[in-house]
């Protein structure tokens, strides 16, 4: 299976994405690229940046369909996928609502 990349969105950011067809979170706009994660990175991204947000939308993409993805050093020097261009939600091949578990951490599907 080809590697997949993931985008997490607050419910507010998801509602805006549904209205416009593309993601536009504040951090992405400020940084000039769309922050994505691999399956090995997405849980830590959720823990660091989406705790206390209630339910969070998780989108999965085939990076080969997205355009200008650059692998750039971020957290701890790990290489993260960054998209330089619009992330169109219609390109998502799957999506889930993640809900907090009893410990407050978002619960992910088992296959991610």
pTM: 0.95
User: d(Cα 110, Cα 64) in Å, to the nearest integer?
Assistant: 24
For residues 61-81, b (16+ Cβ closer than 10 Å) or e, as one string?
Answer: bebeebeebeeeeeeeeeebb
Q: Name residues whose C-beta falls within 8 Å of residue 88's C-beta, 6 or more positions apart in sequence.
A: 21, 22
Query: What is the average per-residue pLDDT within 35-64?
Result: 96
Position 1 confidence tier, pLDDT thresholds 50, 70, 90: low
Nearest to 56 by CA among 6, 104, 100, 92: 100
Please tell me the distance from the alpha carbon of residue 97 to that of residue 100, in angstroms, as a whole number.
10
């Amino acid at each position: 299976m080809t590697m997949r990349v993931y985008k997490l969105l607050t419910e507010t950011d998801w509602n805006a994405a549904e209205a416009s067809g593309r993601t536009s979170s504040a951090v992405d706009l400020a940084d000039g690229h769309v922050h994505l994660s691999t399956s090995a990175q997405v849980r830590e991204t959720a823990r660091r940046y989406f705790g206390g947000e209630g339910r969070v939308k998780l989108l999965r993409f085939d990076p080969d369909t997205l355009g200008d993805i650059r692998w750039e050093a971020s957290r701890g020097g790990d290489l993260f996928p960054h998209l330089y261009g619009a992330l169109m939600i219609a390109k998502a091949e799957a999506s889930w609502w993640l809900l907090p578990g009893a410990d407050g951490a978002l619960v992910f599907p088992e296959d991610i």
